[in-house]
Amino acid sequence: MSARAKVAVLKGGPSLERSVSLRSGAQVQAGLQRLGHDVTGIDVGPGLVGELLDLRPDAVFIALHGRDGEDGTVQSLMEALGLPYTGSGPSACIRCTDKILAKHLMHEAGIPTPDFQALRETSIRDLGAGAAVGAVEARLGFPLVVKPARGGSALGVKFASSSGELPGAMVGAFSYDDDVLLERHVKGRDLAVSLLDGAPPRALPVVEAVPRKEGFYNYEARYQIGMTTFVCPAELPADTTERAQQLAVQVYELLGCHGFARVDLMLEESSGELWVLETNVVPGMTETSLLPQAANAAGLSFDQVLEGVLAGAFDR
Amino acid sequence: MEKPRLMDRSSTSGGGGRGARPTAHELARYEALFATRTHGMKSSAMREMMALTERPDVISLAGGLPDTSTFPPELYAELMTDVSHESTARALQYGPTEGMAATTKCIVEVMAAEGTAIDPADVIVTTGGQQVIDLVCKTLIDPGDVIVTEAPTYPGAIPTFSAYEAAVEQIEIDSEGMPIDRLEETLDRLHAEGRRPKFIYTIPNFQNPGGATMSLARRRRLVEVARERELLVLEDNPYGLLRYEGESLPTLYSLDAQAVGREAASDLVIYLGTFSKILSPGLRLGWAVAPRPVLDKLNLGKQGSDLCSSPVTQMFVAAYFHHGGWLHYVETLRDLYRTRRDAMIEALEEHFGDSATWTHPEGGLFIWVTLDERIDTTDLLAQARTNEGVAFVPGRAAYMYAQSGASSMRLNFAGIPEPQIKEGIRRIGKAISEQLGLLGSLTGSPAKAHGPILSARAETDTAPLADVVELPRRDDARERRSQDR
C-alpha cells in the first residue's frame, strides 16, 4: 500500500448506535491523519454513494456500528462500488450480526455457547408459537436473557427471571427485530477478546468488564462509560486466558472475519467454563473501547492497529 | 472506592504484556481524570435514541416545546430595534449577577398575575428555569443528601440531581399531586435512617410529566410540613399561567408568606419561574425568588457559573413588557394550547381507547399516558420511531432509578399543530396495538391497561383490541425500513 492513501471514514448514520459510531469515527480519522493519510469523514446518509463517487478514495474505513454498518449492507455496497474497505466482508457480517445464525454455527462447530432458542415474530402471530414458549422455558430454565437477533446495543436486551416476565421481555425485544433469541443466562465474569488479522489471527489480551457498583449489573451498564470499569489484561489464570483466546480465534475463523473483530465471552462462576456469546465485526474504536485498550496492553498503539486494519482493506 | 486498574499492566496473565512502557495510558487518561460525580451522569441508550427522533419525517410529541411560531415576527423586529436604538452599549455589556432592574420589574408583574406579591430584592434572574435547579443543588446538596420529589418528576431535573450526587426519594403522585401523608412517612423514614433531606422539589401546577395539580389542602399542608421540619421547598412553576380550565390556586410561596404573616416574603419556599412558556425558551431567561440567605448563596453560585444572564435578552423582555400586551399573548397561547390538548385527548380516545389510561391536565404542556405494565415504552419508542415515524418521551426518563415508569409515556400537545397531533397519536396507537396483539398471542389473552384512571374516557363501541389480532404490518414496515437507510 502506498504510504499516503486517500481514505474515507464512514461514521454516524441513522443507527441506534450513532453517537458511539461518531466517536469511533472521530478517533479513527484523527489516527489515520497522524499516520499521514488524506482522510475524509462521512456521516452516512442518503448522499453516501454520491459523496464516495466524488471523492474516489483509495479505501473506505467502516466505523459504523449497528444496523447497516455491521450487517453487511454497507460492505455489499462497497463491493458494488469496487472500493476496498476495512473489516469483514458481507457474509461474515451477516453471520456475526445475526446472533441466532452465529450461535447455530458455533453450536454445530462444537464451540461452547449458552443454550438457546430462537423465535420469529411471525411464528407467534401466525403459527401459534406462543404455546411453545412453555416448552422453551422448561428446557432453558430461568433466568433467561432475551435479545433481539441483531443489534449491538443494550436496547431490547432483557432479563426474565420468571414465566410472568417473559412475554413483556419478548415483546420488548421484538420492537427491534423480527427474530428474538432466548438464551440461558450465564452468571459469571464478562470477558472480551479482540482480534487482529494474521495467520493465525492474533488474539489480544483479554479484557474484563467489571460493573462499578457491587451487586449491580444491567445490560445498559455494559455500554456506558462510567458504569463499568474495564480491566486489561483481565486477572485470570493463565490457562483460562489461553483458552479464551483460543476460542476467540476459532470463532473468528469459523465466522470468516477479516481485519479485526471482538468476541464476547462469559466465564461461568459455578462451572468455571467459558461460553461464547457473540462476535462484533466493527469493534468500538473510541478512546475507552475494548479493542484499543487490549491492543495497548499488548504493546500496540492505536495508530498501529489502524494501520494494520487499513492494510487489510487491500488484502482480502 | 476501588481504584480502576486500567493502568495495571504488571499482570502476567494477559499475553503479549511487555515490561517497560510509558506509564501514561493513552486510552485511560480521560477516565482517570473524571470526577467521581460523573460516574452517576449517564447518557443512556434511551437518550441516544431520543436524539434520533430529530428526523424531519418523524412527528415528535417528545419535546417540551411551546409554539414560538405564534410570536409576531414584526413585533420581534420592533423590540430588537428598540433595544438597539436605546441601549446598544448596555445590551452588549455584562450585567449585574442578580439581573437587571428592568427585567426584575417584569418578573414582579408576572408573579402578580399569579396572585403572588414579592419583594423585587428577593429575585435573581437566571439563565432559564433550569439554572435555578442547578443553583439550588449547588447551594444545598452535599453528596448523599436527599431531595424528595414527585414520581414521575421533570426529566430535565434528573441529570442535575445526578450531577450533584443527590439521593432522590420519589413519591408517587395521584390526581391531586403529591400525597402529603406519604411525604411525611418518607421524611420519618429518612430521619430514622439518619439521612438528611435538604429540599422538596415540586411542580404544583400541571405537573411535568404527570399532569396533576396539587390541591389547595395539600399545598397548605406541604407548607406546614416544611415549617415543622425546617426543610426548603423548591416550587417549580413554569406553566402556572397556562391554565385552560378551573380556578387558579395560590402558589406555595404566597401560602408560606401568609403563614409567617408577611406580605411578600416566604422563608422556606424557593420559587422558580421562567419566561420560556409564556414568551420564549430561546431567550433563556428564568428567575428564582428566595429567602435572602439562600438568595445570597444562589448569587454566589451564579457568579461561578456564568456571571450574569444575557443582558440582550433581558432588555428584550423589558422592552416587550413595556410595549404592553404580554398577558394578551399568554391568553392567545392558552386558547391555542387548550384546543390542542382537547385534540390530543380526542385522538387518544379514538386510537388508544381501552389500551391505556391518561391524564386530563387543566393546563401546561403534557399528557401522561400509562399502558399495560408489560409494555416497555423505551422499546415501544424504538418500534414507533422506526416503523411509524413518531416519537414521545418514555416514562423512565421521569424516574431517577430502576425500571419505574417503564410502561408510561409523556406526550407534548403544545408544540405542534392539530393535524400532526392526531396523526402522531394514530401512529403510536398502531404501535401499541401491535405490541398488545403480540402479547395476546404469547399469553393467550388480550392485555389490559393498568394504573390509576385519571381521565374520563369515552364510552366507545369501537373495541380497539379488535384490530389487534390482524397484523398486516411487517412487510410494508420492512419496506419502509429499507427505504430509510
Q: Using one digit for the tens of pLDDT, what is the confidence trace for A223-249?
A: 444 567 788 999 999 999 999 999 999
Task: Flag the least confident range among A260-269, B336-345, B395-404, B413-422.
Answer: B395-404
Q: Using one digit for the tens of pLDDT, what is the confidence trace for B74-125?
A: 999 999 999 999 889 999 999 999 999 999 999 999 999 999 999 999 999 9
- Nearest residue of B to residue A21, measured between CA atoms: B48
Q: Is residue A264 among the annotated active site residues?
A: yes
Q: Is residue A218 among the annotated active site residues?
A: no
Q: Using one digit for the tens of pLDDT, what is the confidence trace for B174-205?
A: 999 999 999 999 999 999 999 989 999 999 99
Is there a contact between A224 and B42 if contact means CB atoms under 8 Å apart?
Answer: yes
Per-residue CA distances from A85 to A167, A202, A261, B369 (Å)? 41, 20, 15, 47
Alpha-carbon Rg for chain A, nearest whole angstrom, is 19
Residues in chain B with CB shorter than 8 Å from the CB of A297 are 9, 14, 16-17
- What is the count of residue pairs from A and B with beta carbons less than 8 Å apart? 170
Pick the most confident of A84-98, A157-171, B460-474: A84-98
- Segment B458-461 long-range contacts (CB within 8 Å, at least 24 positions apart): B458/B349, B460/B349, B460/B350, B460/B353
Catalytic residue among A284, A289, A308, A312: A284
Is there a contact between A242 and B15 if contact means CB atoms under 8 Å apart?
Answer: yes
Confidence of residue B155 (pLDDT cuts 50, 70, 90): confident
How far is the C-alpha of A198 from the C-alpha of B7, rounded, in Å? 27
Cell of residue A271, nine digits:
462451572
| Residue B150 or B463, more confident | B150
B402 near A CB under 8 A: no
Over range B35-47, report the average pLDDT.
Answer: 61
Cell of residue A240, nine digits:
483460562
Beta bridge partners of A9: A41, A61
Nearest to A175 among B25, B51, B382 (CB): B382
Percent of chain B with pLDDT over 70: 80
Residue A155 predicted with pLDDT over 90: no
ipTM: 0.77
Q: Is residue A153 among the annotated active site residues?
A: yes
Over range A126-134, report the average pLDDT.
Answer: 87
How far is the C-alpha of B412 from the C-alpha of A143, rounded, in Å? 38
Q: Is residue A178 among the annotated active site residues?
A: no
Over range A19-26, report the average pLDDT.
Answer: 88
Residues in chain A with CB shorter than 8 Å from the CB of B12 are 238
Nearest to B435 among A131, A171, A287 (CB): A171
Q: In what order do the strands lie in the sheet with B393-394?
A: B356-358, B366-371, B408-412, B393-394
CA atoms within 13 A on the CB side of B398: 32
Residue B434 predicted with pLDDT over 80: yes
Give pLDDT, residue B35: 76
| Residue A94 or B260, more confident | A94
Task: Flag the least confident range among A219-228, B141-150, B401-410, B463-472.
Answer: B463-472
Whole-prediction pTM value? Answer: 0.79
Give pLDDT, residue B31: 59
Per-residue CA distances from A218 to A156, A227, B43 (Å)? 12, 10, 15
Give pLDDT, residue A151: 73
Over range A135-153, report the average pLDDT.
Answer: 89
Residue that the C-alpha cell 425558551 belongs to: B281
Q: Using one digit for the tens of pLDDT, what is the confidence trace for B396-431?
A: 888 887 567 889 999 999 999 999 999 999 999 999
Pick the most confident of A16-30, A141-155, B372-386, B411-425: B411-425
Confidence of residue A66 (pLDDT cuts 50, 70, 90): confident
Give pLDDT, residue B460: 33
Find out whether the peptide bond into B96 is cis, omega within 30 degrees of 0.
no
Residues in chain B with CB shorter than 8 Å from the CB of A67 are 485
Report yes or no: A62 and A86 within 8 Å, Cβ to Cβ: yes
Give pLDDT, residue B13: 38
Confidence of residue A212 (pLDDT cuts 50, 70, 90): low
Residue A139 CB neighbours (<10 A): 12
Residue A18 predicted with pLDDT over 60: yes
Beta bridge partners of B147: B168, B199
Is there a contact between A16 and B382 if contact means CB atoms under 8 Å apart?
Answer: yes
Q: Which ranges constitute the DSSP H helices of B242-397?
A: 252-259, 292-306, 311-323, 326-351, 377-383
Residue B485 predicted with pLDDT over 80: no
Over range B339-355, report the average pLDDT.
Answer: 95
Give pLDDT, residue A158: 86
Report yes or no: A228 and A210 within 8 Å, Cβ to Cβ: yes
Residues in chain A with CB shorter than 8 Å from the CB of B435 are 171, 174-175
Give pLDDT, residue B481: 35
Report yes or no: B435 and B193 within 8 Å, Cβ to Cβ: no
The beta-strand segments (E) located in B361-481 are: 366-371, 390-391, 393-394, 408-412
Report yes or no: A191 and A267 within 8 Å, Cβ to Cβ: yes
Q: What share of chain A is helix, strand, coil (3-state, %, to 5)?
A: 40, 25, 40
How far is the C-alpha of B171 from the C-alpha of B309, rounded, in Å? 33
Confidence of residue A113 (pLDDT cuts 50, 70, 90): very high
Distance from CA of B383 to the nearest CA of A (A): 5
Give pLDDT, residue B47: 59
Give pLDDT, residue B39: 63
B383 near A CB under 8 A: yes
B359 near A CB under 8 A: no
Report yes or no: B163 and B133 within 8 Å, Cβ to Cβ: no
Mean pLDDT (chain A, rounded): 90
Nearest to A176 among B8, B17, B382 (CB): B382
Phi, psi of A273 (to 5 degrees): -80, 150
Over range A82-86, report the average pLDDT.
Answer: 97
Residues in chain B with CB shorter than 8 Å from the CB of A232 are 6, 14
Give pLDDT, residue B468: 29
